[in-house]
Amino acid sequence: MVTLDKIRNDMQKLLQDDKSLRYVNVRADSVEDALADAAVQLNSKVSFLEYEVLEKGYEGFWGLAKKPWYLRIYENPVAVAKKRKKKKTEDIIIDDHLEEAPKIVDKDGMFYIRYFASQINLKVVLPQGKGAHVDAKEILSHLKRQEIVAIEEDLIRQYVKTGTDGKYEPIGQYNHNPAADATIVVDVSNDEMHAMITVSSPAVGGAEANADQIVRMLSIQGVVIGIDEQKISDFVDNPVYGVPYVVADAIDPVDGRDAYIAYNFETDRSKLRISEAANGQVDFKELNLIQNVVEGQPLAVKMPPERGKAGKTVYGKYLEAKNGKDIHMPLGENVVVDTDGRTILAATNGQVLLKGDKIFVEPVMEVNGVNIKTGNIQFLGTVIVKGNVEDGFNVKASGNIEVSGTVGNCLLEAEGDIIVTLGILGRNEGFVHSKKSIWAKFIQNAKIEAEEYVVVSDSIVNSNVTANKKIIVQGKRAAIIGGHLFATEEIHAKNIGTRGGGTETVLEVGYDPRAKRRLNSLLEKNESFKRELDDIELNIQTLENTKKVRRQLPHDKEESLIKFIARKAEIQSELETMSKEIEQIQIHLRELKVIGKISASGMIYSGVKVYVRDAYDEFPTDIKSVTVYYKDGFVYKGKYEPLAIEDTKRVPDGYSTN
C-alpha cells in the first residue's frame, strides 16, 4: 500500500539525488561537441551524461545564420550512485588496509578578520586535538580601529565556541570608503594555462578583496576553467598584495597510452631461476631454463591503445591530446590469435620463446649435451641432444628424444620414440622408457621399456628389456648376452647367451609383459593380505572369547577389537576386487593370440632359459640357427625363421630407409 509517508520519503530521496547532481551549461556547434566538453569538465564519460536543451542550435545554410546549441548537461543519477558506491567501497578497502589509525595532530584554533564592503567579517577555525581555543579577548583587541562603528561581542563569543564552518560571518560595521578599496587585476599567461590575480593593498577605510569578487573578476576576463576555490580562500585568509597569485590552472590534455603486449611468460631468460628445495638447498640439475606450454595456452595479450583525454585552457579552449599508437601482433611460428583478436595462443606443445619482438613456440628443442650447463630437461615436444646425456641427468619429452652420443646412468622418458645413435650405458641404474619404440647401437646394464619395439644394431648386455611387440637385434655382432628380456611377439638376434653359459640369460615371449608384471604384483599383494587377514581373524577370535568370559573388555581392548573388525572388512573388500582383476588378467593371458617366438640366425648357447607363453625350457647344449616357438603346451625348436621384411626396414617415425 502506497502511503503518504512513503511518497514523502521517496520525494525527499529524489530531491537529495537531484541536489547531488553536478551540471554545466555548455555552448557548442553540435550536441556531440557539447557532451564531449561536459565530459571533460565533469570528469565523467559521455555515456554517463544526460542533457536538457536550453537553446536549440541551427546548422545554417551554407554556413550562414549558424546558431550554436546551448545545453545543460549533468551526470545520470544511476552513474552518480555507482560512482558514489565505488568510492565508498574503495574507502572501506583503504580503511581495512590501514594498519594504524591516523594520529591526531594537536593544533590551536585560528581566526581571521576581514573588511568586506561596509561589514567587518570574522572567520574562526576550531582547534584540533588538544589545541587551544581562540580567545575572544584577542579578537576584540584587533577590533580597536577608529573607523569601526559597531561590534557584536556576543556573536564573537558564540563563534569562538562553535566556529564559522570555514566561512566569513559579519560581526560589525565600519565607516567604508569605496575609493580606498583593494583593486583586483587578472592576468592570463600567454599559453592560457594559468590565470593570476594581483591585488593592491586597501587604504584606510577601504575594503579587502573577498572570494566572490575574485571569482567575478575572473569571469569578466573570460576565465571559466580550472578556478581553484581553495587557493582563492587561502588568498583571502592570508592576502599577498602586489604579487601575482595563481588562482586558476588549465586542464592539461592527457595523451593516450600506446598499445603494448602483456606477456604470460618470462621474457628475460636471465630471471629464470634454479629450483630450491623446501630445506633451502639448491638443485643445480633443475635449472628451469625451459618454459613449456601446451596447445591452446594463452601466451600474451595485446592491450589496445587508449584515446587521449582532451584538456582545456582557462578560457575554455580545447587542448588536443594524442591518441595512443597501435602496434602489430608479435606473431612468430606456431602461435595463433584467439577469436577476441587480442590473445596470442600456442598452436602446438613446446617451449615459448621471445625472439626479437616476436613470440615463438618451438616444438623441437636442440641442446649440445645434457649436463650441468643445461640441467635436467622436461620438454613438451621433441628433444634433440647433439652430444651425450651424462650420468645423473634426466630427459623427459612429450615427443621424441634423439641423442647423437651416449646415454649414461640417466632417466629418459618419451611419449614418442627414443633414438640413441651410440649406446646406453646404464651402470645398473639407468632407466629408459618410451611410449613407442627405442633404438640404440647397444644397451648395457640398463632397464629398458618400450610400448612397441626395441631395436638394437649391436648388442644387449646384462640388461632388463621389455617390449610390448618385438625385441630386434640385427647387425654384424647382434648379440644378447645376459639379462632378462620380455617381448610379446618376438625376440630376434644373431647370437643369444655366452659360450659356456657363464652369464644367465632369460628370454620370455608370448604374453603381455605389463599384464604379467601386474599379475605378479597382484599375486604377491594377495598373499600378503591373506597372511594379514589370518592374523586379524586370530586376534578377533581371542578378544571375542575373552569378552564372552568377562562379559566386558577394557576400553583399550574394545577399541582394538573395533579396529580389527574394520580392517578385516577392508581387506576382504580389497581381496574381492583384487581377485576379479587377477582373473581378468589370467583370462587375457590365456586368450592371447600371439604365439611368440625366439629366433637366432647364429647360435643360442647352452644355459639360456626361455619362456614361451606358459611353457619353460632350457638349452642344455649350443644350438645353431634356430627358432623356438610354442605348440600344444610345449617349447619346440625348429628351423630358423628370418625377420619379416618390414622389420628389417623398420625405422623411427619421421625417418626414411633411403
Average pLDDT of adjacent 10-residue blocks, the chain of 658 residues? 56 54 74 76 75 73 62 73 58 47 78 93 92 90 84 92 93 92 95 95 92 94 93 93 94 93 83 52 54 91 92 92 93 94 93 90 92 88 94 92 95 94 94 95 96 94 94 92 93 92 88 81 92 91 86 86 91 92 84 81 93 87 92 87 86 60
At 587 the pLDDT is 84
Cell numbers that stand for 347 in this block = 598452436
Cell numbers that stand for 367 in this block = 641442446
Contact assessment for residue 615 and residue 634, using Cβ atoms and an 8 Å cutoff? yes
Contact assessment for residue 513 and residue 468, using Cβ atoms and an 8 Å cutoff? yes
Give the Cα separation of 171 and 164 in Å (integer): 11
At 97 the pLDDT is 47
149-179 exposure pattern, b = at least 16 Cβ within 10 A, e = fewer: eebbeeebebbbeebbeeebbebbbbebeee
Contact assessment for residue 69 and residue 27, using Cβ atoms and an 8 Å cutoff? yes
Which uninterrupted H or E stretch holds 395? strand 394-397
The CA–CA distances, whole Å, from 334 to 131, 267, 653 equal 71, 17, 21
- In sequence order, what DSSP letters do the residues of 153-211 get, joined into one string? HHHHHHHHHH--TTS-EEEEEE---GGG---EEEEE-TTSSEEEEEEPPP-TTPPPP-H
At 266 the pLDDT is 85
Q: What is the pTM of this model?
A: 0.56
Residue with cell 578385516: 568
Give the Cα separation of 223 and 314 in Å (integer): 5
At 93 the pLDDT is 45
Contact assessment for residue 42 and residue 25, using Cβ atoms and an 8 Å cutoff? no
At 11 the pLDDT is 55
At 658 the pLDDT is 43
* Sign of the dihedral through C-alpha 96, 98, 103, 105: negative
At 515 the pLDDT is 81
Pairing verdict, β 453-467 and 438-444? parallel
At 80 the pLDDT is 64
At 580 the pLDDT is 92
Long-range contacts of 129-135 (CB under 8 A, 24+ apart): 129/104, 129/105, 130/106, 131/106, 131/107, 132/108, 133/109, 133/160, 133/161, 134/109, 134/110, 134/160, 135/160
**Axis crossing angle, helix 229-237 with helix 211-220, rounded to the nearest 10:** 130
Give the Cα separation of 188 and 169 in Å (integer): 32
